[in-house]
Structure 1
Amino acid sequence: MIVQTFINFYLKTFFILTPFFVLSAFISLTKDFDDTEKKQTAVKVTVGVLISCFIFFLFGKYIFELFGITLDAFRIGAGTILFLSAISMISEKADTKSQNNSRDIAIVPLAIPMTVGPGVIGMLLVTGAEAGTISEKVIIGLAILLAVLSVGIILYLSSSVKRLIGAQGLIILPKITGLFVSAIAAQIIFTGIQNFLHLG
């Protein structure tokens, strides 16, 4: 049961972080960087994503209490945003044309909002509020940690990954990821609606 929960949340978080969409953006935004700069940027992105994810995961419950939002209402809202993000991933290329001349792109826009966007924030808030026990929070927290590190490794090895999957692969993989994310979003929405109707 523990292993199943860990694997389930690892895979869910990994796909919601849209690693291949982020990879294509990372490659485009760092095309003028040397190999050392790319790796340093990948490390910064990973740290930024990690901190952001755990803030939303650990303090989501208090955010709900502060604003008086029910968990199921947030599920429906977060699921909808996540679903729209998935549609955008499937139908469009990564929006990397608006590059600025700054080389400090690790936190904005790569970590936030490209990796940790509204859909990811919504999922983490819901997951954190749902986790009732300390042991559950630890298991899910470790799954989130591993998922973020997995994305970080992909970015760290971006040059090798680009050679491995090719330009066409960078177009196709975000679309496949988008399909998985849309299914996760639909499940979150259906759970929220189902619980809302039962409560009603």
Structure 2
Amino acid sequence: MLSVLFSLYLKMLVLYSPFFVLSCFIGLTPGHSVKERKKLAWRVALGTLIASVLLYLFGQTIFDLFGITADAFRIGAGSVLFISALGMAQGKSAVQTDNLNQDITIVPLTIPLTVGPGTIGALLVMGISQPQWDAKLLAILAIAIASATVGAVLYLSDRVERLLGQQGLQILSRLMGLFVCALAAQIIFTGVRGYLQP
């Protein structure tokens, strides 16, 4: 059970890409005090948790509503995740630096930076792949721990920024992008295999 929880936690952590989000967080909060950044960090973590759990739990309803098969969605979601991960791996900026005086907790920090289109797709697929409630509760726990980890990384943004510098954050973001590319490829291959099997 602990190994399954840890595996799900790592998968969610790769999907959330906390160091990529951290570099965006730092870029979006240049005029914020340390106290304001810390409050913002936990609000992002809470938003990530709520959005992820809702997507995970209501995945089947969304599939039924639109008449999409799980394998077709795996291929589509994996493709979107791969494209966004490719941008991360190449070090492309994901945020606009204009209009920074607005509340950035939900948009863009929670959605689409932490819970982006690919992550949304992966959560929906994960939700329908685990119909038993004991598996669902374990996944929700993993989501909660991963969301808290994102919050902790953002909470420590000043220290991490001093420790790693912008170049170190860029390297970590690109590494996370490579891991997300691999995860996206796995989702696509699973969808293709399921679609081609009679």
Q: TM-score, normalised by structure 2?
A: 0.96
1:99 deviates by 2.8
Structure 1: which 5+ runs fail to align? Answer: none
Is residue 73–residue 192 contact of structure 1 (8 Å, CA) maintained in 2?
Answer: yes
* 1:25 alignment counterpart: 24
The yes-or-no answer on 1:126 pairing with 2:133 is: no
* Letter matched to residue 193 of structure 1: V
* 2:39 alignment counterpart: 40
Cα distance, 1:161–1:101 mapped onto 2, change above 3 Å: closer
* Letter matched to residue 126 of structure 2: T
* 2:139 alignment counterpart: 140
1:165 deviates by 1.4
- Deviation digits for residues 37-92 of structure 1 (CA, Å, limit 9, x no counterpart): 11111111111111110110000011111111110110000000000011010113
Give the length in aligned residue pairs.
Answer: 198
Measure, in 2, the Cα distance between the counterparts of 1:103 and 1:156.
Answer: 20
1:103 deviates by 4.2
* 1:10 alignment counterpart: 9
Moved over 2 A (4+): 92-99
* Letter matched to residue 119 of structure 1: G
Measure, in 1, the Cα distance between the counterparts of 2:32 and 2:102.
Answer: 8
* Letter matched to residue 158 of structure 1: S
Give the alignment's Cα RMSD to 1 decimal: 1.1
Measure, in 2, the Cα distance between the counterparts of 1:68 and 1:93.
Answer: 35
* 2:97 alignment counterpart: 98
Measure, in 2, the Cα distance between the counterparts of 1:183 and 1:146.
Answer: 22
SS at match of 1:96: coil
Measure, in 2, the Cα distance between the counterparts of 1:101 and 1:197.
Answer: 47
The yes-or-no answer on 1:88 pairing with 2:72 is: no
* 2:111 alignment counterpart: 112
1:170 deviates by 1.0
Identity of matched residues, %: 49
1:28 deviates by 1.0
